Amino acid sequence: MEKPTADFVVSPSYPSNLEPILDLESTSLGAKKVHWYIENSFIGNDEQIKYEFIAFDETTADTFQVILIAESKDACYDTLTKYLPFKYETIFYIPTGFTPNGDGLNDVFYIEGEGIKTEGFEFSIFDRWGNELFRTEDPKAGWNGIQNNGEYFQQGAYSYVLKYIDRDNEPKVMRGEITISRSGPKKGL
């Protein structure tokens, strides 16, 4: 009886919420049929298979078990188990601009994302002279583009600094620009 040798390659080697789709390919020797399992759930019999991690969040396990069972024409089996690391990255969706003019559309600049912790979060916006115009430690707070006197800030580019702590508890800093386009109430000619 011929015994198969189970083996497979996977890409990416380090899946994450940025790259949640795995490409699995059997490189088994002497296998007539293969059986794939992830975390003990059957996912298919094809030599090449794609698997997308759709149910992940920051509480999900850091490693996932991938099992390939190779079956020979003589119904002999070989099993290979690999443990793949899964990294849950902090992701920010930061708009490049907004239009604070009171029309109810795009009036407030918000940062959105995945895996954002409140601990160590700090977001500041500055004018071109380095004066701080807005500061928050609340990831859900937005900037409405209105000065303390109730007037809208002028059109233009404003710098920001975003400080946060990622999932691995590493402090990070991001810098960029926000553009205010057409601010203030609509005025007739």
DSSP 41-93: EEEE--SEEEEE--S--TTS-SEEEEEEEEE-TTS-EEEEEEEEE-B---EEE
The helix/strand/coil state of 52 is strand
For 94, the token pair is 């930061």
pLDDT tens digits in sequence order for the chain, 189 residues long: 889 999 999 999 888 888 889 999 999 999 999 999 998 899 999 999 999 987 655 566 678 899 999 999 999 999 999 998 888 888 899 999 999 988 888 899 999 988 888 899 999 999 999 999 999 999 999 999 998 898 999 999 999 999 999 888 889 999 999 999 875 555 544
Measured in whole angstroms, how far is the alpha carbon of residue 107 from the centre of its chain?
25
pLDDT reported for residue 115:
80
Strand partners, 152: 146
The reported pLDDT for the residue numbered 188 is 47
Domain with CATH 2.60.40 in the chain: 8-85, 91-180
Residue type for position 131: N
- Please state which CATH number belongs to domain 91-180: 2.60.40
Evaluate if pTM is beyond 0.75: no
Amino acid 73: pLDDT: 93
Token readout for 148 is 């303390």
Cα–Cα distances in angstroms (integers) from residue 18 to residues 29, 62, 108, in the given order: 33, 15, 27
Fold for the domain defined by 8-85: Immunoglobulin-like (2.60.40)
3-state secondary structure of 136: strand
